[in-house]
């Protein structure tokens, strides 16, 4: 097993969250800050979020659109976060918002052109829906790592009614809901329904790394 940062090695996606704790303002801010500073193609930052904290209106609206399977456990989470992406055809906020400062002394370099070079038209043309959702994936991953850094766990769900939620939130056409993230502190697996209780303690697994590697064609 190769060396792995403890933040990554310890990450997993629980079903059991502690229903007795809420998400503090500081925790919420740090999670959003992590997502905000993720890289994106051309620094377009095509991610949008709705954060619901337990029992508030946003939480209720997100919860009601979850698949029944997810409603069995996700209501114990301290927060539910909607991750949405902006369809690229729309002018982005980048066109009208001035810069805000960098987060750290180390961040003296710039990341405004993380993925693309200005003037490279073919690359720009690849900034399609796939790139927007790829960048959202990066932002939620960075949020997930930050969650681990402050003692929280997250569990991402695609099992929710995207269309119904978009209507309920009156989202603009170019804002596409993609994922709902349950966030909280680890709870008691014994609080879960039987089948989930069993799965909660199963060994995690992944394909061998060799199965993930592409080969070179001969010649």
Residues 68-107 close enough to bind its own copies by CB under 8 A: 69-70, 82, 84, 93-94, 97, 99-104, 106-107
Cβ-Cβ contacts under 8 Å for 124 (sequence gap 6 or more): 42, 116
Site for its own copies in 16-35 (CB under 8 A): 26, 29-30, 32-35
| Other C-beta atoms lying within 10 Å of the C-beta of residue 181 | 25
Cα distance between residue 75 and residue 59, in whole Å: 9
Out of 19, 22, 87, 115, the only residue in the binding site for its own copies (CB under 8 A) is 115
Number of residues near its own copies (by CB under 8 A): 118
Q: Give CA–CA dist 69/100, Å, rounded.
A: 41
Residue 190 near its own copies by CB under 8 A = no
Q: How far is the CB of 35 from its own copies (least distance, A)?
A: 8
CA distance 9 to 32: 22
- Residue 91 in contact with residue 46, Cβ under 8 Å? no
Q: Output the smallest distance, CB 109 to its own copies, in A.
A: 5
Nearer to its own copies, 20 or 170 (CB): 170
Contact between 191 and its own copies (CB under 8 A)?
A: no
List 23, 77, 79, 136, residue binding its own copies (CB under 8 A)? 136
CA distance 165 to 38: 25
């Amino acid at each position: 097993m190769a060396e792995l940062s403890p933040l990554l090695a310890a990450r997993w996606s629980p079903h059991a969250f502690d229903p007795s704790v809420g998400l503090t303002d500081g925790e919420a801010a740090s999670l959003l800050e992590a997502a905000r500073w993720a890289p994106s193609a051309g620094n377009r930052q095509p991610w949008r979020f709705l954060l619901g904290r337990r029992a508030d209106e946003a939480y209720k609206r997100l919860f009601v659109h979850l698949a029944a399977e997810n409603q069995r456990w996700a209501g114990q989470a301290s927060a539910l976060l909607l991750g949405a992406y902006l369809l690229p055809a729309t002018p982005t906020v980048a066109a009208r918002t001035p810069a805000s400062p960098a987060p750290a002394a180390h961040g003296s370099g710039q990341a405004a052109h993380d993925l693309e070079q200005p003037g490279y038209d073919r690359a720009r043309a690849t900034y399609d829906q796939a790139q927007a959702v790829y960048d959202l994936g990066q932002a939620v991953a960075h949020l997930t790592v930050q969650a681990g850094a402050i003692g929280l766990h997250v569990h991402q769900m695609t099992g929710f009614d995207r269309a119904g939620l978009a209507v309920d939130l009156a989202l603009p056409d170019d804002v596409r809901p993609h994922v709902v993230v349950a966030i909280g502190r680890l709870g008691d697996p014994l609080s879960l329904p039987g089948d989930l209780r069993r799965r909660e303690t199963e060994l995690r697994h992944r394909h061998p790394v060799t199965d993930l590697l592409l080969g070179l064609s001969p010649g």
